[in-house]
């Protein structure tokens, strides 16, 4: 965990990469670019992201890995490709030259709601065009909120002992008492639980604004795809408020080092049952490279 001043508490983890361009049409003349995807519905998707601390530079290295269960669906009539992802594993590592080490993981990642994406072909490469996802909070206050008011909490906000939440004015929630905060991972605590082991040992309750995208994808004939992962997160511990708080403020390594690997899965899992996160993780460990958290020796 990296201590920052309060003024930095809302600074996102940002990848210096292209953002989605939803207003532009897909590549003309390549209407069936998605054909190799049509033979598969289920995929294991392993994404990795490497960065350096914005203030401390080479002294602090940030590694992040997410393993998704992805379901791809194609509307052959329109040629549109949708992808639903479920976050099965979300983990990372922060290390420094002064022996600081923080291993972090999303405790109940597999309980989170699926996320929706669209895959398109642009300039000969595949990318996702996805709306920003809010994890652990709603994007807007309840309609009955007025600035500064306290109103009845929702039934799932069981951490609010007096049954009241706050209609706060910050653009994004900074406290668990904010009416927008939800129990995203169903642990009866605010936001999403992120466990830290190493420099400190704790579980933080965080909210996440996720604008990450898959970019520069190259699809093979067998349905495998290799792409890059443009990470763009805003993560904040909901106990912070306006006080100094743990927050990762980092600059991405070159995009080509941050990869996303898609591995097609058969219709049924090895057990003969429908896929779930546990089985996807087991298969991904067998089919996809597992050294994803090894920070690049050169290039960053």
Give the E-state strand segments of 167-246 in sequence order. 192-198, 202-210, 213-219, 225-230, 232-237, 245-246
Residue at 256 is within a domain: yes
Same domain, 198 and 162: no
Same domain, 197 and 127: yes
Same domain, 76 and 151: no
Same domain, 119 and 13: yes
Same domain, 143 and 213: no
Confidence (pLDDT) at 4: 30
> In 3D, which of 109, 122, 18, 121 has the Cα closest to residue 79?
121
Question: What gap in Å lies between CA 107 and CA 73, rounded to an integer?
Answer: 29
Q: Write the CA distances from 20 to 35, 236, 253, integer angstroms.
A: 22, 24, 20
**Domain end residue (candidates: 124, 152, 181):** 181
Predicted model pTM: 0.85
Question: What gap in Å lies between CA 288 and CA 281, rounded to an integer?
Answer: 10
User: What is the domain count for the chain?
Assistant: 2
Token duo for residue 107? 């405790």
Same domain, 120 and 234: yes
Q: Extract the residue ranges of the chain whose pLDDT is less than 70.
A: 1-31, 57, 241-248, 290-293
> Cα(first)–Cα(last) distance of the chain, in Å?
20
């Amino acid at each position: 965990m990296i201590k920052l001043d309060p003024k930095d508490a809302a600074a996102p983890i940002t990848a210096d990469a292209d953002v989605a361009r939803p207003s532009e049409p897909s590549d003309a003349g390549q209407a069936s670019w998605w054909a190799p995807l049509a033979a598969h519905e289920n995929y294991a998707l392993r994404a990795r992201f490497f960065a350096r601390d914005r203030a401390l530079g080479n002294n602090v290295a940030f590694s992040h890995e997410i393993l998704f269960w992805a379901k791809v669906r194609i509307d052959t009539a329109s040629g549109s490709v949708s992808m639903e992802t479920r976050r099965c594993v979300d983990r990372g590592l922060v290390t420094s030259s002064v022996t600081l080490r923080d291993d972090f993981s999303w405790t109940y990642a597999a309980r989170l709601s699926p996320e929706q994406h669209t895959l398109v072909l642009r300039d000969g490469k595949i990318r996702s065009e996805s709306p920003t996802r809010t994890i652990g909070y709603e994007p807007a206050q309840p309609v009955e909120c007025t600035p500064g008011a306290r109103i009845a909490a929702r039934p799932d906000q069981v951490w609010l002992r007096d049954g009241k939440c706050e209609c706060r004015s910050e653009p994004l929630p900074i406290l668990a008492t904010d009416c927008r905060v939800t129990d995203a991972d169903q642990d009866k605590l605010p936001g999403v639980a992120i466990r830290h082991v190493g420099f400190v040992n704790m579980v933080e309750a965080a909210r996440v604004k996720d604008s990450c995208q898959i970019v520069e994808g190259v699809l093979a004939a067998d349905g495998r795809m290799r792409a890059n992962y443009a990470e763009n997160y805003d993560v904040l511990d909901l106990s912070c408020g306006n006080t100094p708080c743990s927050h990762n403020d980092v600059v991405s390594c070159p995009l080509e080092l941050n990869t996303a690997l898609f591995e097609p899965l058969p219709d049924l899992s090895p057990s003969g049952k429908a896929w779930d996160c546990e089985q996807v993780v087991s298969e991904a460990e067998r089919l996809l490279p597992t050294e994803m958290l090894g920070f690049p020796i050169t290039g960053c």
